[in-house]
Amino acid sequence: MRALLLPVLLLAACTTVPVTGRKQLSLYSEAEEASLGLQAYREILSDAQIVASGPDVEMVRRVGSRIAAVADDPGFQWEFNLVKDDAMVNAFCLPGGKVAVYTGILPLTQTEEGLATVMGHEIAHAIARHGGERMSQQSTAGALGAVLEASLANKSEGTRSWALAAFGVGANYGILLPYSRTHESEADEIGLIYMARAGYDPRPSVDFWRRMAAKGGAKPPEFLSTHPSDETRIAQLRALLPRAIEEYEKSRAGR
């Protein structure tokens, strides 16, 4: 019965990602995701050195506010912070709109458009509910694994171990890692559109990702990675530029 009900439950839990229109699995509500995001954000910032004022803080808040305005999710309570950590080349946006940018990424963003590329990408992850989808996928994989384990109850220990190990490898490399790459590519696409709609020229985004690629060290093959390869990412962005430039021109005409 459990195995028969699972496909019905999964179908009922599908939602649609903004901009791309992709169907996704969402077993958790937006409120649940936002609660987890707020808790994680508080924990992270409790040990962080937050930059209180200055031109970089003003830029982070300005860029974030403009992108949040076009993302237009009324359930998000936006917050933008610049964290002092020159060794951390990173930024993130947690469910519910909690955003942090580390000072270590600013030398690579270089310009306000570069920062909009980064913040658009991170905000896109949250708007597209990638964190909740990831949790949903892991929960589903766990449920399927439990069903498989129950169906093997009468098999030998060796058979059970082999089958469960094979399932684990298949789920990781066949589902979870590809979806991680899907999330990254989707965040690139949505973020590019959001920055363009917010009035930022999307063309410098390609230059930013080239700088990121040049900074990175040795990387695993794409099929073993949670991210698309640098070459794939840049090619996809270049293909998306005509649409993003059109959105950018519309935003300029409306000002």
Task: For 55-82, write each residue's pLDDT tens digit.
Answer: 999 999 999 999 999 998 888 999 999 9
| pLDDT at res. 157 | 66
User: C-alpha angle 189/191/196, rounded to 5°?
Assistant: 100
The total of other beta-carbon atoms located within 10 Å of residue 185's CB is: 18
Residue extents of the structural domains in the chain = 2-253
Cα torsion 193, 196, 197, 200 to 10°: value is 150
Sign of the torsion formed by the C-alpha atoms of 55, 124, 113 and 249: negative
The tens digit of pLDDT for each residue in 147-161 reads 545 665 666 666 545
CA atoms within 13 A on the CB side of 55: 3
Task: Flag the least confident range among 19-23, 134-138, 147-151, 241-245.
Answer: 147-151
Are the C-beta atoms of 31 and 203 separated by less than 8 Å? no
149-167 CB burial, b ≥16 within 10 A, e <16? eeebeeeeeeebeeeeeeb
Q: Which letter does DSSP use for residue 87 in this model?
A: T
| pLDDT at res. 74 | 87
| pLDDT at res. 206 | 95
**Higher per-residue confidence, 34 vs 147:** 34
From 187, 197, 57, select the one nearest 125 (Cα to Cα). 187
Six token digits for residue 181: 């790459």
| pLDDT at res. 171 | 38
Decide if 149 is catalytic: no
What values do phi and psi take at 98, rounded to 5? -95, 110
Alpha helices in 152-203 (DSSP H): 157-171, 177-197
Q: Point out the catalytic residue in the list 33, 79, 122, 184.
A: 122
